[in-house]
Amino acid sequence: MKMEDIEIIRKVMKAEISSIKKQEQQLNSNKEEFNLIIKEILALKGHLIIMGVGKSGHIGKKLAATFASTGTPSFFIHATEAMHGDLGMITKDDLVIIISNSGETSEALAPIDAIHRIGAMIIALTGQEHSTLARKSEFLLEVQVDREADTFNLAPTNSSTSVLVVGDSLALAISVLKNFTEEQFGMYHPGGALGRKLVEEGKL
């Protein structure tokens, strides 16, 4: 690999790190909304459902897995599939996070009215606070980035990484507030090294 190739890689890494730092810097301005969302999730009687399409969908799947494995029952629904029957997975006791960087992706917006008819509330996880998604949701987590990491400012990179970090941070903060234990973690990971270790130690 040539030196200039390394510099391209380094430039992308720095761009994504910078975007993550921006989210940390914006925490104080978003503190009130974060607190409201944390309160809603802690009081949740149903499931935390995460929804998206494209790269946002891939990030959503990972976040649903993180929430589920750290004490918050959660699963992912593809926004397009929601419109073809998967809305039946949602109940009035659930809370739905819809991820869309622009907040205007038609497939992500399509299920909103139906979700509200079911009686569930929606958290918009978007980079645009004045978007349709933000306006039609009960809660807003704004994850705004200045640009993407690629040359053309098109490929979801800085935005998707930032959403992942914010989502992970939210999941783990809630886990701590729920007093989620090592033993509980092991119970949900019986096939992993930690689960086996806890079984062997007689803690499960």
Taking the C-alpha atoms of residue 99 and residue 124, their distance in angstroms, rounded to an integer, is 6
pLDDT 10s digits, 128-141: 999 999 999 999 99
pLDDT band of 169, cuts 50, 70, 90: very high
Contacts of 25 (CB under 8 A, 6+ apart): none
Identify whether the C-beta of residue 126 lies closer than 8 Å to the C-beta of residue 14.
no
- Of the candidates 5, 78, 54, which has an alpha carbon nearest to the alpha carbon of residue 163? 54
Looking at residue 90, which CATH number applies to its domain?
Answer: 3.40.50.10490
The pTM is what? 0.93
Give the bridge partners for 77, in sequence order.
Answer: 51
Say which DSSP state 148 is in.
-
Enclosing domain of residue 104: 3-200
pLDDT 10s digits, 24-37: 999 888 899 999 99
Q: Tokens 């053309």 belong to which residue?
A: 152
**Sign, CA torsion 55/58/63/64:** positive
Q: What is the pLDDT of residue 38?
A: 97
Count up the domains in the chain and report the number. Answer: 1
Where does 43-181 have alpha helices with state H? Answer: 54-69, 79-82, 106-109, 112-118, 132-135, 158-177
Average pLDDT, the chain: 93
Say which DSSP state 136 is in.
T
pLDDT band of 60, cuts 50, 70, 90: very high
Average pLDDT over residues 123-151: 96
pLDDT 10s digits, 3-23: 678 999 999 999 999 999 999
Angle 34-72-20 (CA atoms, 0-180°, nearest 5)? Answer: 45
Q: How many residues does the chain have?
A: 204
Q: What is the pLDDT of residue 4?
A: 79
Q: What is the pLDDT of residue 87?
A: 98
Which of 97-111, 140-154, 178-192 is the least confident region? 178-192
Name the more confident of 197 and 54. Answer: 54
Contacts of 180 (CB under 8 A, 6+ apart): 70, 71
Average pLDDT over residues 62-73: 97
Name the amino acid, one letter, at 124: A
Q: What is the pLDDT of residue 2?
A: 64
